[in-house]
Amino acid sequence: MDAPTEPRASLRLETAGFAPLKRTMVRAVAAPLERLLSLDKIDNLYKSLPRGGNLQEFLAASIRAVGRRYEISPQALERIPKQGPLIVVCNHPFGGLEGVILAEMLLRVRPDVKIMANMILRRIHEFADLFIFVDPFAGPGAQVRNIAPLRQSLRWLQGGGALGVFPAGEVASLKLSEGRVAEPVWNPNIARLIEKTGATVLPICFEGANGPLFQAAGLIHPRLRTALLPREIMKKRSKPVIVRIGAPLQAGRIARFGDSREVMRHLRLRTLILGAGDDRPKKNKLFPIQLPPRNETLIGAVHPDILAGEIAKLPREQFVAESGAFCAVIARAAQIPLSLREIGRLRELTFRKAGEGTGKSCDLDRFDEHYLHLFLWDKEALKIAGAYRLGPTDEILARVGAKGLYCQTLFKFAPNFFRRISPALEMGRSFVAPDYQKSYSALLLLWKGVAAYVAANPRYRNLFGPVSIPAQYKDASRQLMAGYFGAAHGLPEYAGLVKPRTPLRGDPWLRKAAASLVEDIDDMAALLEGIEADGKGVPVLLRQYLKLGGGLLGFNLDPDFSNVLDGLILVDLLKTEPRQLEKFMGKSGLAAFMAHHRGGPANMGKCA
């Protein structure tokens, strides 16, 4: 798309519409007023921009001319649909700049782009074919004046084009009643465009806000705030505008949100949540030099031949599952002192790579001595490929009491909690070593090992333990997951019986928003992809536990384990889909487990 080349109009104050006397008065104050509002700078800048050429180049030059730049990840750009009707809904923090950035960004992906914009921008004739001009102010006649641009937008979308919109209609400003800078309710007409055209919707968030003078002016009068927009645009800022793109939403899915007002409330929340993902470090004025946490050097690996010799001495019945070169083995600490040392080394190595870990040279603690250890042995490479730590509550509570359970270091439990779920199996410290993470088969065999143990000891119908959400996730993502999973997959029957020792703090609106906003786990994953720079979604282990019918008992921050957020999961295997159980237990194992809980014969033997 080429930019028009005709002479450029002035962006200074117009006096032509006034009567002669008023025109003289306006001219007398025009020059100082233009300087005050930076209209003279805007006008000179506009006239200095290169003429002709490509429209996208003109837009990029305009952004550079006002001393601004923006940042968007390549992964985020990939989320922009390259064809088909598309409505891009955006927040409106600045007033002008974001429209230019949006147009330039969309034109990098597809040529059929139009932006719904304030009619004030009509004087920039390069925008004539790019912008659809509307009257965003709810004044007399605005509704009538907006009929034609809405029809133009409808035709554009029906033709398969992309339309960028700012549904707030006006720039975000200080709302004393809310105590923050916020946008007004989004215009429901956009929801009607979505309904009529079946367009895909893409939420985009521009991070930032206008300065304090702009916000204060708005408290006096909205028009005064608008008059200061050129001044805001001309402010040189060193920081880039961060642009975040969410996951595309299909029209059919949007229709399930409710009426037009509810649709816009939903889209507004989804868009603003993207901006909550700003985790850039804040300056610490008291201690400006921040030292990274120090990790101890890992202990050396145990020689493979030594591991093989120790594992070969274990009784055959402790080899509980096998697949190809791998076998799942269960043992007590006293049986495998050197293998356990290697497990501790691999735990720390693996957890550090995931942004977790204790920071110690080896991840072993006092609980390892009385827990069972299920590990995956690679018979060909003579390596430990992964492991789980299992804690039978009936044994541990009888032997050392509640203090012998690792989970009590993270959560406080009412005395009758364990009476309600025992006998249960606490599961934790699970890992698959880095060399084996390319395939799902290692984790699958570990789970088959757990299932084999449960089938042989069917009294353990309840599995529970912490599943971690690493600190590598942005705080907003962790708040959203805690809010959604706590609401959608919580276990109210255990309310009051479990409390975190270090609760998750932060703005509760994110957790509340997630509880009302997210439809399912795939929706949660899509929301996270828009917030996380690398596009990561829901942690794999959390997703798998939920697939087994697990529920969340609470969330706790663990400062001793790289500040991971631990969700305490509880899986009642009698409520798990039998087909899921059969996948891990096999037919005979499932039959033994179900027979026990029907009161029939059961294998009450115990491995290790």
pLDDT band at 138 (very low <50, low <70, confident <90, very high): low
Residues 424 and 460: beta-carbon distance below 8 Å: yes
pLDDT tens, 545-557? 999 999 999 999 9
Highest mean pLDDT among 235-249, 380-394, 507-521: 380-394
For residue 511, pLDDT beyond 60: yes
- DSSP-derived secondary structure for 484-519: HHHHHSB-GGGTTTEEESSPPPS-HHHHHHHHHH--
Q: Which residue has the higher pLDDT, 288 or 239?
A: 239
The C-alpha atoms of residue 254 and residue 264 are separated, in whole angstroms, by 10
For residue 22, pLDDT beyond 70: no
If you average pLDDT over residues 370-393, what whole number do you get?
Answer: 98
pLDDT band at 18 (very low <50, low <70, confident <90, very high): very low
pLDDT band at 499 (very low <50, low <70, confident <90, very high): very high
The C-alpha atoms of residue 225 and residue 219 are separated, in whole angstroms, by 8
pTM of the model: 0.79
Nearest Cα neighbor of 115 from 126, 123, 127 is 127
Domain residue limits, the chain: 53-275, 394-597
Nearest Cα neighbor of 270 from 521, 510, 94 is 510
Q: What's the sign of the alpha-carbon dihedral 116, 122, 127, 130? A: positive
Beta bridge partners of 113: 162
Half-sphere exposure of 284 (CA within 13 A, CB side): 7
Correct CATH for 53-275 of 3.40.190.10, 3.40.250.10, 3.40.50.11540, 3.40.1130.10: 3.40.1130.10
Average pLDDT, the chain: 86
If you average pLDDT over residues 185-189, what whole number do you get?
Answer: 93
